[in-house]
Amino acid sequence: MSHLTCFELVGQTVIVTGAGRGIGRTIALDVIHSGARVAVGSRTTTELESLKIEIEGMGGECFIHPLDVTDVASIRTFFTAVESHYGDVHVLVNNAGYNKLGRIVDYDEELYDQIVDANLKNVFFCSQSMARQMIARGVRGNIVNISSQAGVVGAPERGPYSGAKGGVNNLTRTMAAEWAEFGIRVNAVAPTVTRSPMAEAAMQDSQAFADAVKTKNLLRGDLAEPEEISAPVIFLASSAASMITGHTLVVDGGWTMV
């Protein structure tokens, strides 16, 4: 394999959760550009339909199916549907997530559970479903979890989210260790705050958060763009990263460096 083609995903099937908007949508499109077919899931099927139209207009293959990543039954149904449609699946990108800013003293149990389920529980059970399929079918694939810089350092106003993403980082290591014997690599990408409707709303809701984005992203002084997160994801999913597993790649413009 050449030094260029090793960065491609030609002929592979890739699942991207939470692909309706933001980083997930960009990852799904870049998967197609990398030569793979994609299966996408999200609670908002209208956005998935528009993504499918865009991908098919590019000549790519896209399978869509509703997915609530906080509901284990929905996860099981989704992965069964993808397997029935495509057969072998080679890559899972656990992108779906959710957050709402607040001080730790102000969170109630309902919102805490909502955030942790959407960011940690979903990674556990989606990865479990994917690994079961890969092991049963003898697929030597890989999983890329979208974590966050908030899981690497303290993150005021993001307590439950920060704890969940820190859990994702360590869960990534544990899954990588358990599944290495089956040829399944597991890594994480920990982005800085990236342009999306959720991030832009958070900056409007909290001046302190907006100020942190402007001062702590040393390379930019602003939000990262989705394409800057998608490219590292594609790298980790490709054979160019064939000796990398259990690693969290921080893509944060220097936020956690100082």
Please enumerate in sequence order all residues whose Cβ is within 8 A of that of 21, keeping only pairs 6 or more positions apart, or say none. 44, 47, 196, 197
pTM for this prediction = 0.95
Residue at 245 is within a domain: yes
pLDDT for 2 equals 52
Residue at 186 is within a domain: yes
pLDDT in tens, 60-108: 999 999 999 999 999 999 999 999 999 999 999 999 999 999 999 999 9
Calculate ∠ Cα 192-239-98, nearest 5°.
30
Task: Tell me the pLDDT of the chain averaged across its residues.
Answer: 95
The SS3 assignment for 205 reads helix
- Within a 13 Å sphere around the CA of 35, how many CA atoms are in the beta-carbon half? 11
Residue at 114 is within a domain: yes
Residue at 258 is within a domain: no
Round to whole Å and give the CA distance between 186 and 109: 31
Residue at 99 is within a domain: yes
Residue at 116 is within a domain: yes
Residue at 48 is within a domain: yes
Query: For the chain, how many structural domains are there in total?
Result: 1
Residue corresponding to tokens 């984005």: 213
Domain that holds residue 40: 5-250
Cα-based torsion angle of the residue sequence 121, 122, 125, 127 in order, rounded to the nearest 10 degrees: -120
Q: Which CATH number fits the domain that encloses residue 153?
A: 3.40.50.720
Residue at 160 is within a domain: yes
pLDDT in tens, 162-188: 999 999 999 999 999 999 999 999 999
Residues 188 and 147 sit within 8 Å (Cβ to Cβ): yes
The catalytic residue positions are: 161
Conformation bin of residue 183: beta by default, left when phi > 0, alpha when psi is -120 to 50:
left
